[in-house]
Amino acid sequence: MASTDPSSQAPAGPEGPGPSTAPWSQRRQLLLAGSVLAVPVVWRAVQAQAPLAPTPAQTEGPFYPVTLPADSDADLLAQGERRYTRGEAAWLDGQLLDAQGRPLRGGTVEIWQCDADGHYHHPGDGGRADPAFQGFGRTTADAEGRFRFRTMKPVAYSGRTPHIHAKVKLGTRELLTTQLYVEGDPGNARDGLWRRLSAEQRAAVTLPYRSGADGWQARCRLVVQA
């Protein structure tokens, strides 16, 4: 005698599987859809936790100041009462981060560079730098790791492409010394130090300079192992 339990029979005709399989099919589709939607969320979480590549270190060079100027603030275009008007004025803005992307509050950032004639405030360069150009500055990163300098767009001098030297300290520890270059400058490809960098490293320290109402503007991000 045939079973009369409707749950054990598949319906006749073109409708396909019996009613007991439909809910499973729907659940499977929902699970698959949920998995696809979860992938970007998981990927974003992994990205957020991925460490940042440290800013490449480069040589300090021979012209780090032997004696720091009495005026060592973040405005290199003013040395005491003097004002430096040569070259092209520029703002250098930046953010100081650790490898986890956290702002390094209280870190000290120093920069130094030659004047518009290619001379440093250093006895090894003959002491020929313009006294109105401060040539060296330092500032402290704020709670967001931000810092800012008023200076001039760097220029080339004998054997080197335009660059600004930068150093990062935290307390008594020196965390980074590097050099910051000008994007698109034809001298880069001939500069030995710039050429030693990989493409990714060059991108980290080669800055675009944009023309603004108050002179050139450049931005950088300095990532250090703190």
Residue 61 within a domain: no
Predicted local confidence at residue 70, as pLDDT: 87
Do residues 105 and 146 both lie within one domain? yes
pLDDT at 45: 47
Pair (128, 22) in one structural domain: no
Task: Tell me: do 208 and 96 sit in the same domain.
Answer: yes
Whether residue 169 contacts residue 108, with contact meaning beta carbons closer than 8 Å, is answered with yes
Same domain? For 174 and 211 the reply is yes
Decide if 59 is inside a domain: no
Co-location of 115 and 174 in the same domain: yes
Q: Are 171 and 131 in contact (CB under 8 A)?
A: no
Look at the chain and report how many structural domains it folds into: 2
Q: What is the pLDDT along the chain (226 residues), one digit of tens a residue?
A: 444 444 444 444 444 444 444 554 554 454 444 444 444 554 454 445 689 999 999 999 999 999 988 899 999 999 999 999 999 999 999 999 999 999 999 999 999 999 999 999 999 999 899 999 999 999 999 999 999 999 999 999 999 999 999 999 999 999 999 999 999 999 999 999 999 999 999 999 999 999 999 999 999 999 999 8
Same domain, yes or no, for 185 and 136? yes
120 and 183, same structural domain?
Answer: yes
**Domain-located, residue 72:** no
144: helix, coil or strand?
coil
CATH number for the domain including 185? 2.60.130.10
Point out the domain boundary residue: 33, 50, 67: 50
32 with 101, same domain: the answer is no
Whether the pTM exceeds 0.75: the reply is yes
Q: Which domain holds residue 117?
A: 78-224
